[in-house]
Structure 1
Amino acid sequence: MSRKLLLEQELRKAIQNDQLSLVYQSKVELSTGKMVGVESLLRWHHPNLGFISPGEFIPIAEETGQIISIGNWVLREACKQIKYWRDMGYTELNVAVNVSVLQFKSTSFIENLKNALEELEIPPNALELEITESIMQNIEETLEILKH
């Protein structure tokens, strides 16, 4: 079995088996040195295969459509972390999350995002969505989704 096929199969189980995690990289304002937020970065540690690079598994997730469920998991986990930090008093800290084109355009994206924000009582401005330039190919559709 090829590594790609193996990773595709194992990726289907990664969320249920608690193999995915988020790590956070600081975002610092250069002029003041103040930390203004963090960027969430997805990691996969497989019990047998070890650490698998996002550069290897993200394209597979996008190719197979698994990126939508993984992306929804990432959004919810990032919102949980925002809630935790805000409850500790870090109310100015924003969290940036990368959103794939497939996830952004999925019919459930806005609903999942709204649910996570509402359920965890997160103000929308505490979450930054990072999307790639390729999403701008259909500007009207993109603007409509962003309005929501």
Structure 2
Amino acid sequence: MKLKTISNCENDTIEIAQNFAQELSGNEIILLYGELGAGKTLFVKSVAKKLKCHDEITSPTFTLMQTYQGKFNIYHFDLYRIKNILELDNIGFFDYIEKDGIKFIEWPEIIKDTINGLNFIEIYIKKLDNTKREIIIKKGD
């Protein structure tokens, strides 16, 4: 299934993410694609808020991973600075992929081949201008 929609502003993106959150069962792997500033972390924040997470959601760019509690455990990864798979193995990334909870992975290009056998959802956020975004949510094949 593939859903393509246009967000005209930040509030639209929040609404799209919160509607998406209602479909989650609590054990998803979600791959987030988009350039810097596209809205990947905003999307995660909005899903987390809808899932009753009261923590402050921040980009894990420098920490690589953040964990949050809400209706489900949420694991938020940012792989932007990762250079090879060995680095991920050293931080226990693959152990987290097997845990119950929702796993958001920003900049997933480096791991996509290694999780190919797993079921995941892909979200593409493309900047069309300063406020407008194209959001594509792709589930399954």
With normalisation by structure 2, the TM-score equals: 0.32
Bigger fraction of residues in strand:
2
